[in-house]
Chains A and B, each alone.
Chain A
Amino acid sequence: MTGRGNPAEKEEGEYMERTMPRLRGSAKISSRRRRKRSEYRILLLMLVPGLLYFLVFHYLPIYGVAIAFKDFKITQGILGSEWAGFDYFRQAFEDERFYVVLRNTLLISLYKLAFGFPAPILFALLLNEVTRARFKKFVQTVSYMPYFISWVVLGGIVISFFSMDGPVNWALKLLGQEPVLMLGDDRYFRGVLVVTDVFQSFGWGSIIYFAAISGIDHQLYEAAVIDGAGRLKRAVYITIPMLAPVIVIMLILRMSHILDAGFDQIFNLYNPNVYDVADIIDTYVYRKGLTEMQYSYSTAIGLFKSAVALVLVVATNYIAKWMGGKDHTLW
């Protein structure tokens, strides 16, 4: 249904033919063409602001990646700066720090995937078993809340929560353990990242699974009940298999974002003590570029990430299309 203009176009053409019968002479034909052209002219004019916007704010910056191939100096501008070819890319691939950052990005993404992907599914399955509508609604509403809070505020809450005199360390002391400043500790920082990320997204992420579950034919459940299937059996043999396509699609789409390890969250929670485990591509690009002013180097790394991400998105979309049919992809 997306973008297939041709059948509709033909229909429109036939419709025009039927309602405006061809009169003798070319006058009517050319006036029809004139009318259509002026109609399209207005439409195209309406499109101009939007196209201008995309051109300036999306395509012009793409041209700006030339910075990555030049020895960029602000005073000389993009055109005036010396050509550097792939020098900065070479620098990146020879930079030890780059591999640390790449490793962190992939690991953090994978950890978040391992815990954060099943969580909304399980939550949806559990909540689906609830029959009291008010309780269900309440739990759902509460679960969505963290999603609407920015990582500035949520970060502040996390920092307070995990601080030396915060609830987490209070609980640790109660259990006889030594209090630990987890947000400053290499060993625990990633754990905090994963846990708080799940906290923020499990509720919102469950919406799509709820929608999928509500689409399952009730008769399947009723038949299963008649056959004596209990709740667990019904969940395992009906709900989960019916959810499988959605789950696979969501998983594939998530893979396409694997290089985005969560800039907003990490930027607000990290500090130099944990750079070794928490520095991701986006935070590295930010520091190198805007604070250390290594513009060319930072742009090169950023371009690398965008290029890989593009390949990932296109590839995963094709895989999703191949597996699930046209309705589940981006286009």
Chain B
Amino acid sequence: MGTMRKTAGEKTFDVFLYMLLAAITIVTIYPFWNQVALSISDDTSAYATGMLLFPKQVSLESYELVFQYRPIWIGYGNTILRTALGVSLSVFFTSLTAYPLSKRGLPGNKLFTSLILFTMLFNGGLIPNYFLIKNLGLYDTIWALVIPGMIGGFNVFVIRNFFRSIPESLEESAKIDGAGHLFIFRKIVIPLSKPVLATVALWVAVYHWNAWFDSLIYISDANKQVLQIVLRKIIVENNVEDINTILYKIGQKSDFSGRQLQATVIMFSLIPMLIVYPFVQKYFEKGIMLGAVKG
């Protein structure tokens, strides 16, 4: 198709196509850019115009102020902790569970598979889960955030199918040399499964980084809150008094407009994502393919 000459009609279509896609791209980027502009603008111009393509006065003052707002850093710490813990536990236990299931001769394989599959289709609901966490004594601990979602049925099957694609001959020759399953799992299967494990790790990481609802209902100690909850208070609940109070206490200017401060806070959560995203983007696409191809 590349060696074909395009007709005049096709050339016009091309122009419209590129313009339309460029418009879509701009529309997608613009809301984010709006927040960037708001965050680096001087206090007063935030009210001046709503359009705000570029601030009238550039000032990083609000960044300096939010920087000093301790709860955000506490939130960062808790989120990083839960993500690291969550990903390691999840990848370990999910692959540990997927390995036996990848052996078709395993007694009860069909039963176990159905049991796990069922959990993907039905769950007890909000209240039963809430009381379970409370009754297990996990309330207000990091385990309430990290354990409930630890092994996902979908991930088990994705990893299991990958394990099945590993040639049996490798396992057979190891067995002849006297290796047991634990050895095979650790030294053969896992090293060969790096792609799928990396993909699952990434999915779980994004889940934990963005998770907020479990923290909302299971965590009451402010020092244990994750970043999303700290953000939520400021952004969604429109509660900038906390920030202003703290800033006032440490002798800083305390009359920043709500929208402007919120934009800066939003940037605090977007920037890490934007930095990491380009590097991991291709893993996500590959991951979708892994998940979509069953069997």
Which A residues are CB-close (under 8 A) to B206? 148
Q: How far is the CB of A291 from chain B (nearest CB, A)?
A: 10
Known: A43-B181, A166-B50. A62 touches B112 (CB 8 A): no
Are A49's CB and B104's CB within 8 A? no
- Is there a chain B Cβ closer than 8 Å to A185's Cβ? no
Are B20's CB and A50's CB within 8 A? no
Which B residues are CB-close (under 8 A) to A50? 93-94, 96-97, 151, 156
Are A231's CB and B10's CB within 8 A? yes
Residue from A53, A158, A295, A298 whose CB has the most chain B CB atoms within 10 Å: A53
Are A61's CB and B50's CB within 8 A? no
Nearest 3 A/B pairs, CB to CB: A64-B128, A1-B295, A170-B50
- The distance in angstroms between the C-alpha atoms of A12 and B103, with both chains bound, is 11
Among B38, B126, B270, B294, the residue within 8 A (CB) of A286 is B126
Q: Which one of A23-31, A104-112, A121-129, A186-194 is at the interface?
A: A121-129
- Is there a chain B Cβ closer than 8 Å to A101's Cβ? no
Instruction: Determine the main DSSP class of A at the interface with B.
Output: helix
Q: How far is the CB of B148 from chain A (nearest CB, A)?
A: 5
Q: Which one of B57-65, B192-200, B283-291 is at the interface?
A: B283-291
- Is there a chain A Cβ closer than 8 Å to B281's Cβ? yes
Are A298's CB and B106's CB within 8 A? no
Interchain residue pairs with CB less than 8 A apart (25): A1-B295, A3-B110, A8-B105, A39-B181, A51-B112, A61-B128, A62-B122, A62-B128, A65-B128, A127-B21, A130-B21, A145-B28, A149-B273, A157-B35, A157-B266, A163-B259, A167-B51, A230-B7, A267-B213, A289-B127, A290-B130, A299-B125, A306-B125, A310-B122, A330-B117
- Size of B's binding interface in residues, CB under 8 A: 102
Q: How far is the CB of B110 from chain A (nearest CB, A)?
A: 7
Which size bracket describes the interface of A in this complex? 35 or more
Are B269's CB and A153's CB within 8 A? yes
Contact with B along A79-108 (1 / 0, CB 8 A): 000000000000000000000000000000
Q: How far is the CB of B218 from chain A (nearest CB, A)?
A: 11
Which A residues are CB-close (under 8 A) to B105? 5, 8-9, 12, 40
Are A211's CB and B107's CB within 8 A? no
Q: Which one of A134-142, A236-244, A272-280 is at the interface?
A: A134-142
Which B residues are CB-close (under 8 A) to A326? 295
